[in-house]
Amino acid sequence: MMNKKELENRIIEVIKTIYDPEIPVNIYELGLIYDVNVNDENMVKILMTLTTPNCPVAESLPQEVKDKVKSLDQVSDVELEMTFDPPWNKELMSDEAKLELGFL
């Protein structure tokens, strides 16, 4: 049985397989995932944002995150909350993402 930290890491690995359609970097490195929280019942709460509120994948991207995380055997359920506070900006990107996109 995985502990919470291992499960969080596994969830992050799954999230890293999801890409923003307009930017060739995964949404985790882009900084779109603000928080991943796993409780004692392995219920996962994800706080995420989009690059813009009227992003073309505003409907499908959160659903893809939810479906992929929920597909993990250890996860009992996923609650996904969208926020635009704080609004996303390129400072939230990992150094890897900045390097990939030529910002470093």
The tens digit of pLDDT for each residue in 1-11 reads 679 999 999 99
Answer whether 0.95 is exceeded by the pTM: no
Query: What are the pLDDT digits (tens) for 77-100?
Result: 999 999 999 999 999 999 999 998
Is residue 93 a contact partner of residue 58, using CB atoms and an 8 Å limit? no
Length of the chain: 104
pLDDT greater than 90 at residue 104? no
Which of the pair, 43 or 103, is modelled with greater confidence? 43
CB distance 29 to 96 below 8 Å: yes
Sole residue written with tokens 């706080």: 47
Question: Which domains occur in the chain, in start order?
Answer: 4-89 (3.30.300.130)
Structure tokens at 22: 């307009």
What are the tens digits of pLDDT across the range 22-67?
888 999 999 999 999 999 999 999 999 999 888 888 889 999 999 9
One-letter-per-residue 3-state SS of the chain: CCCHHHHHHHHHHHHCCCECCCCCCECCCCCCEEEEEECCCCEEEEEECCCCCCCCCCCHHHHHHHHHHHCCCCCCEEEEEECCCCCCCHHHCCHHHHHHCCCC
